[in-house]
Amino acid sequence: MITFSFDREDYLFLDGGMGTQLQAAGIQSGEIPELRSLTTPELVQRIHEEYLRAGADMVYANTFGLNRLKLEGSGYSVQEVAAASAQAARAACGKVSAETGRACYVALDIGPTGRLLKPVGDLAFETCVDIYREVIQAAAPLCDAIAIETMTDPYEMKAAILAAKECCGLPILATVAVDESGRMLSGLEAEGVVALLEGLRVSALGLNCGADPRVLKPTIQRLLAAASLPVVLKLNAGIPHQAEGKTVFDMQPLAFGEMMKEYAALGVQGLGGCCGTTPQHIAALKSAMEGVPFHKPTEKQDTLLCSFGQWLKVENPVLIGERINPTGKKAMQQALRGRDFNWMRRQAITQEEQGAHMLDVNVGLPDIDEKGMMADVVRAVQEVCALPLQIDASKPEVLESGLRAVNGKAMVNSVSGKEDMLRDVLPLVAKYGGVIAGLTLDDQGIPDTAEGRLQIAEKIVDACLAHGIPKKDIVIDPLCMTISADSQAANTTLKALRLIKEKLGVKTMLGVSNISFGLPNRQMVNTAFFTLALKAGLDFAIINPGSDLMMSAYDATLLLNGRDEGARRYIQRQSGRDITVAPAAPAANAPAASPAGEHPLRYAVLKGLKEDAVAATRDALTSMDAMGVINDILIPALNDVGDDFARGTLFLPQLMMSADASAAAFEVVRGLLPTSSDGQGKGTVVVATVKGDIHDIGKNIVRVLLENYGFRVVDLGKDVDHDQVVAACLRENCRLVGLSALMTTTVDSMNETILLLRKACPQTKVMVGGAVLTKEYADMIGADFYAKGAMDSVHYAQEILGA
Amino acid sequence: MPKVGYARPFPQVPLKEVYRYMGYKGRTPGRDIQSRVEAVIEKLRGAAQPRLLYQRFPLVWQEGNAQAADFALQGQDVLNNLRGCREVYLIAATLGSGVDRLITRLALDSSADMVILQAAAAAALEEVLDQEEQAVKERLRPQGLSLKPRFSPGYGDMPLSMQPRLLSALSAPRLLGLSVTDSLMLTPQKSVTAFAGICPLGEERVTKRGCGACAKEDCALRQDKQQEEV
């Protein structure tokens, strides 16, 4: 058997829609089409034969929707259906090949699972990989290629590709479905799709199904401009409409053929049909393509990165936000140890708002499970932020964990000239895709000269190329030493930068803060060095985007380097920021005047005025101690707000604004609280939205209120497994757990969780709440307390934890 | 021919409905809350990608039970709603996963904005559906037909277990990226599935309607007949 390859000398023709043909043959709505491979295999084989005779070189086996989720309760196994489908396709190929002398091929068709992956849905990434692995293992031996199609979620696409790569060596064709604007559902555009798929080393990529094919031209052009792999289009016969209760597509075979011919001329290598197409469409396609010259794909040189929703082409220097890194940062170390993922999320959002283009993620602490934590933090950040990420770790297994969890094509920081790192890390980059950063150091340390660093850079580049990592995906960090220890430190680094760019043609990166170690006004030195480096050809800079000086220097340097036409970007970012004007008088934002006799902090909380609350707290602390502020002002104010809410004279948003104001006040006070031996405040409460439920508004409200009242809250998030709740309870040694659920179906889940808690933590009380709950339900599932409203949970916590 | 279209523009969000979902029971909040609501709606506009899908199916009645798209409709309340209909629209709509992400983002630092966003998203989604309903009614009118009020799994005694069948009949996971979890929750969060019966023009009324059809007497958002229009 000839091994099939997508790297061909002529057009590859694929088949058309299977679903439409089965419908024409009488399949009922509600029937599982893949089962026909077992119940009416002759019909399935006949459809394949018709497509092959019409001119298709490759048919997709009848496995599009096949997975164990869809087969549940059907009485059939994935293995038998997959094998039967591949068999039918194989038999058709054998028959037509013998008839015509043409080579005919079978692709295993992998479509979406029909479920959404976490965090939007409830399907875990690894479970998804497993689901796909089951199908692929069953049928791959009978197939020539794997065709992953109609994917609208990059994460699901990644799961399918990994499953395929991990259990068979067949070439992979990956096509996505985009909407009218040319985006996948997660928002990812053509360049991002190319970054993701080429990173994952598929053999061909493209578009199928999706929006009206007639509007796809711009997207196809963008895809071709970015892709170095063969591009395939498998498009619908126009758009569907309802006619006499049936779905009908509006593009006839001739028109379809003409459209595909026009697209082929743009530089595509493979063509076929999707929904609504028939053997007639494929025949018309084949006929229209008669004599059309074929062009192989060309290698593109852009460095591309992406997340699930954004892509990044390295043209102007890229700013990597450095704050999610525990090195020298107490707050991050605390957040890691306390599993405070909200802290990381806030860092991500803040850095994004400050202008970072990418985010570094580093969880290196000796006393934690780095591997698990890396995946958790990557997922937590991805939940709220669409910036591409840099996975930063010194251990290969931690890098792998991050690379597997990232939804997109990430930067990998780092390898060096050391043999073992190159040996262990480069294969990971080749498997998961990524841009690899190499540090110019080796077992002998960091070379003193620029030439010495260039030499290590050469070694790294050679090793990368040997692993199939192209130059465009290599970034070299020539490192910078401390200027106060070596007055040539900056010159050496800048010279190394220039040499590396000139001689090796790869991208460069620097973390600019080391240069100023030990000096006063470090920011000034860092910024000056930064601008020099940008001029010397720096492509990536790891910085703190919160440094206004650095960010402004970036804006100015970009402008001065001729990269800001009409100074548009500079003006937009820097308008109104003339530092020669005297700073605004402190009273410019005067706090709202509180009524005579009313403490300004109390007033700020009652009215929900966050900034005023912060200012008033600072003021109050000059004449009161921390506990006094909390117990005598904040808590009574919250109590009054809570009472008004319960009475119906104040509404939820106002309650929340007061809670936010109080939380801000509390932040100011927090650092001054007498720390008890375990930093527990008034006591620890674990809260979670139970397994199966992803609504967490109520839980979030309770969390904020409890924190305001001085409790330490460990928030496990939503859709939380029973054993995770128990584990947290044991780990925190806490005496109160709060569970929330919105749906009747998840009340069962609450029951499960409570049963487990009773066994493992018999002293712990459980309170429950949520829109669907009632006292009756709460009693039925064995809860200790039913919190009807948000304030009830606070009162119960005060009762139980003796505060 | 009406297209089975998908993307819809972000609608003008009816503020009264937003206030109602926030628990204001017909009252209007103060200026400060109002401007927060406006700001949140702007954020929602940037994050939402409203998509909508519906298909017309024959409704097959047999001994008081009804079947559409080869599955039986369960619960008395939906059967009551669809009485007299020979056809029904199956509907699915979502604001997209960008809104889920925005909810999580806002929850981090502003519980007030999170609460407002929930309300605004619910109001926006209902408005998208209401506008589509109007458009469909316009097309049905010349045929002497109209629509019953839409009815979703979870209303009255219609069980949530109808969700997966409804979604698969419409191919909603593939066409809208709308799916359901093991525990029958729609994902993305801000999504709706519904039935809308096609009835003779003039027969749109159902004997029990709106909140009256629902068993949750103590719901904070329950609307009474005596509700003043503010």
Coil vs helix vs strand at A174: strand
Tell me: pLDDT of A307 over 60.
yes
Distances in Å between the Cα of A693 and the Cα atoms of A200, A376, A395, A648, B95 are 32, 19, 35, 28, 19
- B 122-181 residues inside an 8 A Cβ radius of A: 160, 168-169, 173-174, 177, 179-181
Residue A241 to residue B184, Cβ atoms within 8 A: no
Find chain B residues with C-beta within 8 A of A274's C-beta. Answer: none
Read off the pLDDT of residues A207-241 as tens digits, 9 standing for 90 and up: 999 889 999 999 999 999 999 999 999 999 999 88
Whole-angstrom distance, CA of residue A228 vs CA of residue A218 = 18
Tell me: pLDDT of A587 over 60.
no
What is the pLDDT averaged over residues A778-783?
A: 87
Q: What radius of gyration, in Å, describes the C-alpha atoms of chain A?
A: 30
Q: Does A704 touch chain B (CB under 8 A)?
A: yes
Whole-angstrom distance, CA of residue A165 vs CA of residue A173 = 12
Residue A116 to residue B112, Cβ atoms within 8 A: no
Tell me: pLDDT of A630 over 50.
yes
Q: Testing the interface with A: which of B111, B155, B157 to mutate, by most A Cβ within 10 A?
A: B111
- Burial degree of B143 (CB within 10 A; 0-12, 13-18, 19+): exposed
Q: Which amino acid is at B115?
A: V
**Partners of B7 in beta bridges:** B51
- pLDDT for position A591: 55
What is the pLDDT averaged over residues B20-39?
A: 90
- Cα of A573 to nearest chain B Cα, Å: 21
- pLDDT for position B218: 66
Which residue intervals of A316-362 are DSSP H helices?
330-337, 341-354
- Which of B36, B71, B101 is the closest to A383 by Cβ? B101
- Which of A120, A150, A180 is the closest to B97 by Cβ? A120
Q: Testing the interface with A: which of B6, B70, B179 to mutate, by most A Cβ within 10 A?
A: B179
- pLDDT for position B204: 86
Q: What radius of gyration, in Å, describes the C-alpha atoms of chain B?
A: 18
What is the band of A700 on the pLDDT scale with cuts at 50, 70, 90? confident
Least confident range from A463-467, A547-551, B72-76, B93-97: namely: B72-76
Residue B6 to residue A179, Cβ atoms within 8 A: yes
* Phi, psi for B49 (deg, rounded to 5): -130, 85
Residue B29 to residue A693, Cβ atoms within 8 A: no
More confident residue, B1 or A695: A695
What is the band of A673 on the pLDDT scale with cuts at 50, 70, 90? low
- pLDDT for position A706: 87
* Residues A139 and A145: beta-carbon distance below 8 Å: no
Whole-angstrom distance, CA of residue A554 vs CA of residue A548 = 10
Residue A694 to residue B182, Cβ atoms within 8 A: no
Q: Testing the interface with B: which of A31, A32, A116, A788 to mutate, by most B Cβ within 10 A?
A: A116
Q: Which amino acid is at A403?
A: L
Looking only at the bridges linking them, the beta strands covering B145-147 and B191-200 are antiparallel
Read off the pLDDT of residues A125-156 as tens digits, 9 standing for 90 and up: 999 999 999 999 999 999 999 999 999 999 99
What is the band of A592 on the pLDDT scale with cuts at 50, 70, 90? low
* Residues A164 and A148: beta-carbon distance below 8 Å: yes
What is the band of B226 on the pLDDT scale with cuts at 50, 70, 90? very low
Q: Does B185 touch chain A (CB under 8 A)?
A: yes
Comparing alpha-carbon positions, the chain A residue that sits nearest to B4 is A241
- pLDDT for position A81: 97
- Cα of A482 to nearest chain B Cα, Å: 38
What is the band of A790 on the pLDDT scale with cuts at 50, 70, 90? confident
Q: Does A68 touch chain B (CB under 8 A)?
A: no
Share of residues in chain A with pLDDT > 70 (%): 95
**DSSP-based helix, strand, coil % in chain A, nearest 5:** 50, 15, 35
Q: Does A242 touch chain B (CB under 8 A)?
A: yes
What is the band of A503 on the pLDDT scale with cuts at 50, 70, 90? very high
Find chain A residues with C-beta within 8 A of B104's C-beta. Answer: 119, 345, 383-384
Q: For residue B142, what are its two tokens?
A: 């010349």
* Residues A489 and A449: beta-carbon distance below 8 Å: no
Coil vs helix vs strand at A802: coil
Q: What is the pTM of this model?
A: 0.87
- pLDDT for position A626: 79
Nearest alpha-carbon partner for A384 in A335, A348, A411 = A348
* Residues A650 and A641: beta-carbon distance below 8 Å: yes
Q: Does B8 touch chain A (CB under 8 A)?
A: no
Arithmetic mean of pLDDT over chain B? 87
Whole-angstrom distance, CA of residue A717 vs CA of residue A735 = 19
Least confident range from A379-383, A530-534, A563-567, B32-36: namely: A563-567
Q: Does B31 touch chain A (CB under 8 A)?
A: no
What is the pLDDT averaged over residues A553-562?
A: 91
- Cα of B12 to nearest chain A Cα, Å: 21
Find chain A residues with C-beta within 8 A of B118's C-beta. Answer: 697
- pLDDT for position B230: 28
Comparing alpha-carbon positions, the chain A residue that sits nearest to B98 is A186
Q: Does A240 touch chain B (CB under 8 A)?
A: yes
Tell me: pLDDT of B214 over 90.
no
Cis peptide bond upstream of A586, omega within 30: no
- Cα of A114 to nearest chain B Cα, Å: 5
- Which of A30, A342, A654 is the closest to B108 by Cβ? A342
Least confident range from A514-528, A688-702, B3-17: namely: A688-702
Instruction: Look up tokens 């000096």; give the residue.
Output: A519
Whole-angstrom distance, CA of residue A124 vs CA of residue A126 = 6
Residues 6+ apart with CB under 8 A from A414: A392, A436, A437, A438, A439, A477
Tell me: pLDDT of A582 over 50.
no
What is the band of A680 on the pLDDT scale with cuts at 50, 70, 90? low
- B 43-102 residues inside an 8 A Cβ radius of A: 55-58, 69-71, 96-98, 100-101
- A 583-622 residues inside an 8 A Cβ radius of B: 608
Residue B58 to residue A242, Cβ atoms within 8 A: no
- pLDDT for position A677: 37
- pLDDT for position B3: 42
Whole-angstrom distance, CA of residue B63 vs CA of residue B57 = 19
Q: Please, what's the largest Cα pairwise distance for chain B?
A: 56
Find chain A residues with C-beta within 8 A of B97's C-beta. Answer: 116, 120, 185-186
What is the pLDDT averaged over residues A422-430?
A: 96
More confident residue, A779 or B122: B122
- Which of A112, A691, A695 is the closest to B174 by Cβ? A112
- pLDDT for position B26: 84
- Cα of A786 to nearest chain B Cα, Å: 15
Whole-angstrom distance, CA of residue B13 vs CA of residue A377 = 35
DSSP element (H, E) containing A309: none
Buried b (16+ CB within 10 A) or exposed e, A530-546: bbbbbebbbbbbbbbbb
Tell me: pLDDT of A310 over 70.
yes
What is the band of A429 on the pLDDT scale with cuts at 50, 70, 90? very high
Q: For residue B159, what are its two tokens?
A: 């069980």
What is the band of A536 on the pLDDT scale with cuts at 50, 70, 90? very high
What is the pLDDT averaged over residues A758-764?
A: 91
Find chain B residues with C-beta within 8 A of A239's C-beta. Answer: 3-4
Q: Testing the interface with A: which of B187, B221, B230 to mutate, by most A Cβ within 10 A?
A: B187
Find chain B residues with C-beta within 8 A of A243's C-beta. Answer: 1
Q: Which amino acid is at A728?
A: A
- pLDDT for position A803: 63
Arithmetic mean of pLDDT over chain A? 91
Q: Testing the interface with B: which of A239, A651, A708 to mutate, by most B Cβ within 10 A?
A: A651
- Burial degree of A332 (CB within 10 A; 0-12, 13-18, 19+): buried
- pLDDT for position A708: 80
Residue A185 to residue B105, Cβ atoms within 8 A: no
To the question of domain B12-213 being in CATH 3.40.109.40, the answer is yes
- Which of B3, B111, B168 is the closest to A656 by Cβ? B111
Whole-angstrom distance, CA of residue B107 vs CA of residue B114 = 5
What is the pLDDT averaged over residues A101-130?
A: 94
- Cα of A601 to nearest chain B Cα, Å: 19
Comparing alpha-carbon positions, the chain B residue that sits nearest to A340 is B108
- pLDDT for position A588: 41
Q: Does B34 touch chain A (CB under 8 A)?
A: no
What is the band of A791 on the pLDDT scale with cuts at 50, 70, 90? confident
Q: Rounded to the nearest 5 degrees, what angle is found at the Cα of B134, between the Cα atoms of B132 and B138?
A: 115
What is the pLDDT averaged over residues A13-28?
A: 92
What is the band of A489 on the pLDDT scale with cuts at 50, 70, 90? very high
Q: For residue A283, what are its two tokens?
A: 């025949």
What is the pLDDT averaged over residues A454-482?
A: 96
Q: Which amino acid is at A203?
A: S
Buried b (16+ CB within 10 A) or exposed e, B160-191: bebbbbbbbbbbbbbbbbbbbbbbbbbbbbbb
Q: Testing the interface with A: which of B55, B175, B181 to mutate, by most A Cβ within 10 A?
A: B181
Instruction: Look up tokens 């029958």; give the residue.
Output: B184
Read off the pLDDT of residues A319-344 as tens digits, 9 standing for 90 and up: 999 999 999 888 899 899 989 999 99
- DSSP per-residue string spanning A391-422: EE-SSHHHHHHHHHH-SSB-EEEEEES-HHHH
- pLDDT for position A692: 73
Buried b (16+ CB within 10 A) or exposed e, A32-42: ebbbbbbebbe
Find chain B residues with C-beta within 8 A of A121's C-beta. Answer: 179, 181, 187
* Residues A170 and A146: beta-carbon distance below 8 Å: yes
Read off the pLDDT of residues B160-208 as tens digits, 9 standing for 90 and up: 888 998 998 898 998 899 999 888 889 999 999 999 999 999 888 876 6
Q: For residue A218, what are its two tokens?
A: 């711009």
- Burial degree of A250 (CB within 10 A; 0-12, 13-18, 19+): middle
Residue A704 to residue B56, Cβ atoms within 8 A: no
- Cα of B57 to nearest chain A Cα, Å: 6
